[in-house]
């Protein structure tokens, strides 16, 4: 079945360091791929998405490219800030005739120190 695997955390970085959070997926068909972010005490917010192969999603300095050949959607940011400390979830869409839900990875906690 469809599934998402993302790197386990926590990831601890200093401010201005380069960030990569790996995400790979298993899916039938052509799902859309998403990164969501959850700040402490809050619900999830969409960070970026890509709906077809080779698409690049980007937002707030974060980027991820939909790679069908490697079934990956790695999240990257060139220079992290303390305010980026959060839990990051990779997800893919699961579409059936009843509608679309998301399948999530287990989440990766990012902690950025100044």
Residues of the shown chain interacting with other proteins in the complex, contacts defined by CB under 8 A: 31-32, 36, 41-46, 49, 51, 89, 93, 95, 98-107
Residue (57 or 80) nearer to other proteins, CB: 57
C-alpha span between 24 and 16 (Å, rounded): 25
Residue (53 or 79) nearer to other proteins, CB: 53
Closest CA to 89 of 29, 17, 27, 7: 7
CB contact at 8 A, 75 and 21: yes
Task: Give least dist CB 64 to other proteins, A.
Answer: 14
Task: Give least dist CB 51 to other proteins, A.
Answer: 4
Can the peptide bond before residue 10 be classed as cis, meaning omega within 30 degrees of 0? yes
Residue (40 or 114) nearer to other proteins, CB: 40
Task: Give least dist CB 99 to other proteins, A.
Answer: 4
Task: Give least dist CB 76 to other proteins, A.
Answer: 21
CB contact at 8 A, 72 and 81: no
C-alpha span between 31 and 11 (Å, rounded): 27
């Amino acid at each position: 079945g469809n599934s998402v695997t993302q790197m386990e955390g926590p990831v601890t970085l200093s401010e201005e360091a380069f960030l990569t959070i790996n995400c790979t997926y298993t899916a039938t068909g052509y799902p859309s791929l998403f990164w969501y972010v959850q700040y402490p005490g809050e619900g999830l917010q969409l960070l970026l998405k890509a709906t077809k192969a080779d698409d690049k999603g980007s937002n707030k300095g974060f980027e991820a490219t939909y790679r069908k050949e490697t079934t990956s959607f790695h999240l990257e940011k060139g220079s992290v800030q303390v305010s980026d400390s959060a839990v990051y979830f990779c997800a893919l869409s699961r579409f059936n005739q009843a509608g679309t839900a998301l399948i999530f990875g287990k989440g990766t906690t990012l902690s950025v120190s100044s």
